[in-house]
Amino acid sequence: MTEEHSDALVFFGITGDLAYKQVIPALQAMAADGRLDVPIVGVAKSGWDLDQLKAHMRQSLQEHGGVDEAALTKLFARLQYIDGDYGDPTTFDRLRKALGAAARPLHYLAIPPSLFGSVAASLAESGCAKNARVVVEKPFGRDLASARELNHTLHQYFPESSIFRIDHYLGKEPVQNLLYFRFANSFLEPIWTRSWVETIQITMAESFGVQGRGRFYEETGAIRDVMQNHMLQVLALLTMEAPVGNDPDAVRDAKSLLVKSIRPLTPEDVVRGQFRGYRDEPGVAPDSPVETFAAVRLHIDTWRWSDVPIFIRVGKCLPITTTEVWAELKRPPQDMFHENVPIGANYYRFRLSPTVATALGARSKVPGEHMVGEDVELTVREHPGGGAPPYERLLGDAMEGDATLFAREDTVEAAWSVVDPILDNVTPAFEYDQNTWGPEEASGLVRDIGGWHNPAPPNVDA
């Protein structure tokens, strides 16, 4: 298949929550930039007509970024809507007719993974899959076995080069900056090894709970929701070797090799938690064992990272909302100034959200006649965040056939291999109070390195 631009966009699930909050604003932005000059076909079963869909889209924009009338007019001029059941062959016959002369459509499946196979089969049977690309939303499987089954199903109708597994986290500017900062600067490479790095911690904290999504969370939990995908992708960008070549698969090859080198977790490597009050949420079982917090200890079995302990912590109802990487460097071999400097004085810090910062922790002499120092932080760059929404970037890349920021089959399966041994409540979910950093039991994982680094609140110097 050539890397030609897709000449139509088909959106399955256009009336759903994901489209309402994320994708519709991205479509307007793409139309405003002139990057969406192709037919757009929405498909869903809502009992709506095209006018109702347009009203729904306008409401979405009013709540998520505002309406650009000129761009919305362009978008509506190209928009069609098919209201039909995904299990009804006539729905796909109507889709084939709506695509008209389009020969390279992009099909976006914002639908439950259980429907991927039947929709893919119907696309093939109706002729809509020929020369097409397909974007599938996470969760891509619930474990290693189901991920392999989904891959096998999709490969019956689409080659791997035409499958785009979307993880919106990879479209975020700060996450892309991890890759850029590492390989655009030569000063980091000599010390970015086991010889200089003492430990790495990644924290993804949310100060809110499940926000009415209790039923969904009961089926996922923190490990499936963000650990297996978002956090392992961030870790891969932090620790992978330099990509070889400039094609889209160069970065994905490097990430795949890294994820495959992560040692599978054991129950001794994980502490799960559940915030008090979770079981009172609508849709949550009164005796639910599902985790809203998870902390893990990881090991990467490569020459560069062997014996460097890596810790990832994710959770809801924690004190702040932020995502931060903390890479602590080893202390100098001698305490030359007899200060007994505590661990953690030298570090790299990457704040990924909601503010964005790249910083280096160091020691600097306090003015005066004595050789006494203080901890300082040298900020490379800090800004409020924002930038283009990730779905705008990822949709554009998928339509161009650029798979750099999408998860590949082998990487997805390797990530599931890491977490598979700790899924399905193999350890207790310890209760923790809201507005704390999780259950006290999680401190046991990091006892040997001096404890967790708790990120400072946004807009406050660390």
Q: pLDDT (tens digit, 9 = 90+) per residue, 401-442? A: 999 999 999 999 999 999 999 999 999 999 999 999 999 999
Structure tokens given for 384: 């409020």
User: C-alpha angle with apex 44: 158 to 172, nearest 5 degrees?
Assistant: 65
Whether residue 387 has pLDDT greater than 80: no
Angle between helices 390-400 and 24-32 (to 10 degrees): 70
What is residue 2's predicted lDDT score, i.e. its pLDDT? 46
Query: How many angstroms separate the Cα of 33 from the Cα of each of 10, 36, 63, 388?
Result: 19, 8, 21, 12
Report whether 280 contacts 322 (CB < 8 A).
Answer: no
Query: Which of the two residues, 170 and 241, has the higher pLDDT score?
Result: 241
pLDDT, residue 1, reads 39
pLDDT (0 to 100) of residue 427: 96
Active site (catalytic) residues: 230
Q: What is the pLDDT of residue 309?
A: 97
Tell me how far apart the alpha carbons of residues 10 and 80 are, in angstroms, rounded to a whole number: 9
Does the pLDDT of residue 345 top 50, yes or no?
yes
Q: Which pairing describes strands 356-365 and 347-353: parallel, antiparallel, or unpaired?
A: antiparallel
278-329 pLDDT per residue, tens: 999 999 999 999 999 999 999 999 999 999 999 999 999 999 999 999 999 9
- What domains appear along the chain, each with residue ranges and CATH number? 8-137 (3.40.50.720), 170-389+406-449 (3.30.360.10)
Q: For residue 385, what pLDDT band results from cuts at 50, 70 and 90?
A: low
pLDDT at 462 over 60: no
Contacts of residue 381, Cβ cutoff 8 Å, sequence gap at least 6: 356, 357, 358
Q: What digits encode the pLDDT tens for the residues 114-169?
A: 899 999 999 999 999 999 999 998 878 999 999 999 999 999 999 999 999 998 88
CA distance 138 to 26: 18
Which two tokens mark 70?
């000129």
In terms of pLDDT, which residue wins out, 381 or 206? 206
pLDDT above 70 covers a percentage of the chain that reads 98
Mean pLDDT to the nearest integer, 332-342: 80
* pLDDT at 459 (0 to 100): 65
